[in-house]
Amino acid sequence: MPKPPASDALDPPADVERAIARVLAAERAAQLAVDQARARAAASTESARATARDVAASIERRLKAVRAAFEGRTSREVASLEAAAREQGLPRALSGADLARVDAAVATLARRLTGGGA
């Protein structure tokens, strides 16, 4: 004697077509979600890149300002020293040792100004 069909059995072809339609709709929804996630990731990446560019530009401006300030102070100090030497009637050229001491002082000051240590 044949068994009666189970209550959860599909009634072809209408039930099969509905099941296929549900699978296709789920696939479309999943693809849309993936596309949206990719778009959000791309936007996030570009935003991070823009922030990095802004930070780099800001750092560059700050470094230029520090360099300009350093050069200005150095020029004023050299001018002051030259004026003091002229007032004392001691015009003389800097020796190699003098230049080495100035170079060392400049390097130390540059390290301090840029956070490179003392």
Q: For 43-75, what is each residue's pLDDT tens digit?
A: 999 999 999 999 999 999 999 999 999 999 999
Question: pLDDT confidence of 115, banded at 50, 70, 90?
Answer: confident
Domain count along the chain: 1
Please, where are the H alpha helices in 6-95? 14-87
Classify residue 41: in a domain, yes or no: yes
Is residue 111 a part of any domain in this protein? no
Of 104, 85, 86, 107, nearest to 96 (Cα)? 104
Tell me whether residue 70 is exposed, middle or buried, using C-beta atoms within 10 angstroms of its C-beta: 0 to 12, 13 to 18, 19 or more.
Answer: middle
Which two tokens mark 97? Answer: 């040792």
The residue ranking higher by pLDDT, 8 or 49, is: 49
Position 10 in a domain: no
Tell whether 68 is covered by a domain. yes
The answer to whether residue 110 is domain-embedded is no
Q: How far is it, in rounded angstroms, from Cα 55 to Cα 62?
A: 11
If one counts every other C-beta atom within 10 angstroms of the C-beta of residue 76, the result is 10
Asked if 94 and 103 count as a contact pair (C-beta separation under 8 A), the reply is no
Residue 31 lies in a domain: yes
Q: Name the residue among 103, 104, 99, 113 with its Cα closest to residue 67.
A: 113
The mean pLDDT of 89-94, rounded to a whole number, is 70
Look up the pTM and report it.
Answer: 0.48
- With respect to residue 3, please indicate whether it lies within any of the assigned structural domains: no
Domain range spanning residue 30? 21-93
